[in-house]
């Protein structure tokens, strides 16, 4: 398999191992107003370096995140955005200097971008569940290089596909007009995901169904109904993906014409269908009709056939919005300005607090295909908080309990990211433009102190509970078999794996020693079965290697400075 190389790669391929574990400091909780709709509550927004935030999430979420969506800086070289799109941001330059060294000063912006993304992608891969899905938004600047990076980490066999998002019309004179971006999709293990994705969660579909019913009730005359909808359609067409071709209406609803009456690939049925106005036989499809005459007559009787102005136009089948079954297509046409209009409406003072945010409807559609009602989604480049917005909207539609985790390193994590989510939860806008709240809640965190200090010793100021949780994570002890400090085996016992008992013999104010007396105090008869192995942490060990081997004991020294005792 082709492998991507760039200047500085050798300095970052293992850097994710060196990133220190840090605590996440909870700053506050935000809850929806009373009488708000039910929605997910155990959500998180984390302010801080996303590399450190991702490492801090491992103990609780490794292998448990069902969907990851990231929208990293596109690396266009444009430093004018609110969301700094250039790798010359001071925080990134400082990180490169620490990790890559002086060599980093001579890197191209593409080398810097890859150095920045590689360790973050490695941690994201660890957080993703075995049947999880990964999405990333990119444009032409880094799409080709990042696809090679993804294949190196995820494996080429786990490529699911790529989506072209046509989000703009460029009429400027040039060689090739750039009117699209990309969304790449990979699976952690493609053999574990379903062979078919379908989604009932399309907000536009719901809105069009409601609009059709409203207009049909208001306009009993068919011509008035058509005129009213045509006017509305022309104004909103750019916002209707994937229903931008649904330009017709009758009293049964909004619909489009589909050529699914035409037989694909081989010779079909041959008969005449007469135009209702000219009374002449309509032009037949090249390969004939797909349905036998009796089925066509049934469709005609049900008024499901769409005719042109005269018999020269091929007939089509009416496809109503209510009958639309969504598929995740490789081409999405959605005006990119939709996201900007959306965030301006949320921050209703008329300002534009964030440039080029993704439309929530775009992410809502993606997530609807891959997220179940209890899924966890992670966005480590949270920006304006569109991912949280989309998750809350999905939950509001079907009563789901999907949870989001957002990471944002920039200073607007509170003033824009969290503030947007607060407004979505409680509702925003006035008058006719008022949008009701989705309900829900989130906790706001900052990236806190490290678990180990500069000389790799334990940061004992964090407290015993934090340290015990970290040891349990590193020893792969499942949460359901972890012990409270007050347990029948030992106050130092942390929990069990399938084969081992883990013990953390620690006292902050004295040296601990693994010896016969300590072993005798372990009440292993309270376990369901005798462990095959013992993992015991202490400051010192008074037992020889032969004794440890004979009794299946692994001693691990607690990393702390005991010379002070």
Task: Report the distance separating Cα 53 and Cα 44, nearest Å.
Answer: 11
Residues 448 and 22: beta-carbon distance below 8 Å: yes
Cα-based distances in Å from 200 to 156, 186, 371, 372: 30, 22, 12, 12
Label residue 519 left, alpha or beta by phi (over 0 means left) and psi (-120 to 50 means alpha). Answer: alpha
Task: Report the distance separating Cα 335 and Cα 46, nearest Å.
Answer: 30
The topology under which CATH files domain 460-557 is Trna Endonuclease; Chain: A, domain 1 (3.40.1350)
Three-state secondary structure call for residue 250:
strand
Helices 360-370 and 337-346: crossing angle, nearest 10°?
A: 100
Which of 3.40.366.10, 3.60.20.10, 3.40.630.10, 3.40.50.150 would CATH assign to domain 9-197+329-449?
A: 3.40.50.150
Three-state secondary structure call for residue 394:
helix
Domain boundaries, the chain: 9-197+329-449, 201-323, 460-557
pTM of the model: 0.77
Q: What is the 3-state secondary structure (H, E, C) of 90-116?
A: HHHHHHHHHHCHHHHHHCCHHHHHHHH
Residue 205, φ and ψ in degrees, nearest 5: -60, -50
The closest of 59, 95, 20, 49 to 456, measured between CA atoms, is 20
In tens digits, what is the pLDDT along the chain, a chain of 565 residues?
778 888 888 888 898 988 989 999 999 999 999 989 999 999 999 999 999 999 999 999 999 999 999 999 888 766 443 444 455 556 666 666 666 665 555 567 788 888 889 999 999 999 999 999 999 999 998 899 999 999 999 999 999 999 999 988 777 777 888 889 999 999 999 999 988 887 765 677 888 988 999 999 999 998 899 999 999 998 888 778 778 888 889 888 998 887 677 877 678 889 999 999 999 999 988 888 888 888 889 889 988 888 988 999 898 888 888 877 677 889 988 888 888 889 998 998 766 678 889 999 999 989 988 998 899 999 999 999 999 999 999 999 888 999 999 999 999 999 999 999 999 999 998 887 788 999 999 999 999 999 998 888 999 999 999 999 999 999 999 999 999 999 999 999 999 999 999 999 999 999 999 999 999 999 999 998 999 999 999 999 999 999 999 999 999 999 998 777 7
Report pLDDT digits (tens) over 428-473: 988 877 889 999 999 999 999 999 988 889 999 999 999 999 999 9
């Amino acid at each position: 398999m082709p492998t991507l190389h760039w200047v500085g790669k050798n300095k970052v391929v293992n850097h994710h191992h060196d990133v220190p574990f840090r605590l996440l400091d909870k700053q506050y909780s935000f809850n929806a107003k009373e009488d708000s709709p039910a929605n997910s509550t155990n959500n998180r927004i984390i302010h801080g370096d996303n590399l450190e935030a991702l490492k801090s999430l491992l103990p609780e979420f490794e292998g448990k995140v069902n969907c990851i969506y990231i929208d990293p800086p596109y690396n266009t070289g444009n430093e004018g955005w609110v969301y700094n799109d250039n790798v010359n941001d001071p925080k990134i330059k400082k990180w490169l200097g620490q990790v890559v060294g002086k060599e980093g000063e001579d890197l191209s912006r593409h080398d810097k971008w890859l150095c920045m993304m590689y360790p973050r992608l490695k941690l994201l891969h660890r957080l993703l569940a075995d049947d999880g899905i990964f999405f990333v938004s990119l444009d032409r600047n880094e799409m080709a290089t990042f696809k090679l990076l993804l294949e190196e980490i995820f494996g080429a066999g786990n490529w699911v596909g790529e989506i072209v998002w046509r989000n703009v019309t460029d009429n400027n004179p040039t060689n090739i007009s750039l009117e699209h971006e990309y969304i790449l999709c990979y699976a952690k293990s493609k053999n574990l995901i379903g062979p078919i994705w379908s989604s009932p969660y399309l907000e536009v579909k719901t809105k069009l169904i409601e609009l059709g019913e409203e207009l049909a009730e208001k306009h009993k005359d068919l011509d008035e109904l058509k005129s009213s909808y045509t006017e509305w359609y022309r104004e909103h067409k750019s916002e209707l993906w994937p229903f931008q071709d649904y330009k017709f209406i009758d009293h049964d609803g909004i619909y489009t014409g589909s050529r699914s009456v035409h037989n694909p690939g081989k010779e079909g049925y041959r008969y005449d269908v007469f135009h209702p106005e000219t009374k002449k036989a309509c032009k037949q499809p090249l390969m004939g009709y797909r349905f036998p005459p009796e089925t066509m007559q049934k469709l005609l009787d049900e008024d499901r056939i769409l005719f042109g102005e005269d018999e020269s136009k091929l007939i089509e089948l009416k496809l109503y919005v209510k009958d639309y079954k969504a598929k995740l297509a490789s081409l999405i046409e959605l005006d990119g300005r939709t996201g900007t209009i959306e965030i301006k409406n949320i921050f209703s003072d008329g300002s534009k607090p964030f440039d080029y945010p993704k439309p929530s409807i775009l992410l809502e559609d993606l997530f609807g295909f891959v997220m179940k009602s209890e899924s966890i989604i992670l966005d480590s480049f949270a920006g304006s908080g569109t991912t949280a917005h989309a998750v809350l909207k999905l939950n509001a539609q079907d009563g789901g309990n999907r949870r989001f985790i957002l990471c944002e390193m920039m200073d607007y994590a509170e003033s824009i990211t969290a503030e947007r989510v607060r407004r979505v939860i409680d509702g925003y806008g006035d008058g006719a433009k008022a949008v009701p709240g989705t309900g829900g809640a989130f906790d706001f965190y900052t990236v806190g102190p490290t678990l180990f200090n500069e000389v790799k010793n334990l940061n004992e100021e964090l407290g015993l509970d934090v340290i015990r949780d970290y040891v349990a994570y590193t020893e792969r002890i499942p949460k359901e078999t972890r012990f409270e400090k007050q347990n029948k085996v030992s106050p130092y016992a942390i929990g069990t794996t399938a084969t081992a008992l883990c013990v953390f013999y620690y006292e902050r104010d004295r040296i601990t020693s693994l010896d016969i007396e300590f072993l005798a105090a372990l009440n292993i008869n309270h376990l369901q079965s005798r462990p095959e192995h013992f993992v015991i942490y202490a400051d010192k060990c008074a037992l020889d290697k032969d004794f440890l081997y004979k009794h299946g004991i692994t001693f691990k020294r607690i990393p702390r400075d005991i010379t002070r005792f």
